[in-house]
Structure 1
């Protein structure tokens, strides 16, 4: 993500540009900060999109038949993904498809990262805080500190994080 030139290597400049784009996308009201207003606007936008997907006949209501059809389509997609994983020899270690990495909490990993970005604790993330957090994540993955993150560095970081998660007490 963020590899603008598509060469498989993410530079610090590309990471910074991607963070700028992501911040602009998340800043729903364009006020230069991420706060509860932006989260509420994004949630409302997602709910409206979901309603549009479910309301197949576009009558402004979701019938039981539309609901059941959507559930059947989701189940079929889930089964298809599972079959593809099995063919590829992959496992998803017993996690539900829609909840991977989230440990059952809405907002999951992304919200946790945003919380860490709020360095002054005011429940608002400025663009500077967002950039600082994004570049800190980049720097933590850039093992050899050459200003580039390779596929090997991403893989090593991912494996280290998995190992770290495996060492956490069950209460977390």
Structure 2
């Protein structure tokens, strides 16, 4: 089971984040731009699957047609080589700082773009400012979307969702399983069943994911406190 967990968590299946542009801690908006191949601001299932094909090919380092722990190790080696800019087999303090700064710059750029897009969506009359009514409407719409996302149930969340992609239990993810998982995730995020994922639905998915992470952190903290109390 450890092999499966490593394989799934590393590959991430890109069911959130990049492939459907809702992940997390992954390159959400960068992924949205790539998946939205025609630039119309929404992602169709065909676009999501096409982007998924590209990501699967990149993650399947040994070109076996399956995502496995071996692919994880190969991809990690590739990331190490990218950071080791002088190719001496070690990452120096300077190289580590440069890699961290590059990631920070990318995150800042994505955040700025997301905030600008969010402002434009809330400013429905295009006045260049957000009124109290627009702010209230945005808050209510956000609450409605968050509720729709949460109705999927805990059994579809987090690593459990990723493990479910391995439908035959062989501890690898085949291309067919990958595609099926993308379709299932797409259907969950497409809360209005329009056949497309809008910027609003991506934002709702991000917020639902954040709420889930906060809940899990709270549960872990509660568990640690309980364990400490038992030892006293």
State TM-score, norm by structure 1: 0.66
Aligned to 2:123: none
- The 5-angstrom pairing of residues 23-172 of structure 1 reads 23-51=56-84, 53=85, 55=86, 60=88, 62=90, 67-73=92-98, 114-168=162-216, 169-171=218-220
Which structure 2 segments of 5+ residues have no match?
1-31, 116-157, 222-232
Write the deviation string for residues 128-160 of structure 1: whole angstroms up to 9, x where unpaired.
Answer: 110111111111110101110000111122222
Alignment deviations for residues 90-148 of structure 1 (CA, whole Å, 9 cap, x no partner) = 9xxxxxxxxxxxxxxxxxxx988654421222111100110111111111110101110
Distance 1:27 1:11 in 2: 24
CA contact (8 A) 2:83 2:95 kept: no
Alignment gaps of 5+ in structure 1:
91-109
Assess, with a 3 A threshold, how the Cα gap between structure 1 residues 164 and 132 changes in structure 2: closer, same or farther.
Answer: same
Cα contact 1:114–1:125 (8 A) shared by 2: no
Aligned length: 143
Q: Cα deviations across residues 19-53 of structure 1 (Å, max 9, x unaligned)? A: 112111111111211112222221222222222x2
| Structure 2: distance between partners of 1:79 and 1:18 | 24
Equivalent residue number for residue 20 of structure 1:
53
- Stretch deviating more after TM superposition (115-124 or 138-147): 115-124
Aligned partners of 1:79, 1:23: CA distance in 2, in Å? Answer: 25
Please report the TM-score for the alignment, with normalisation by the length of structure 2: 0.51
How far apart, CA to CA, are the structure 2 residues paired with 1:82 and 1:32?
A: 31
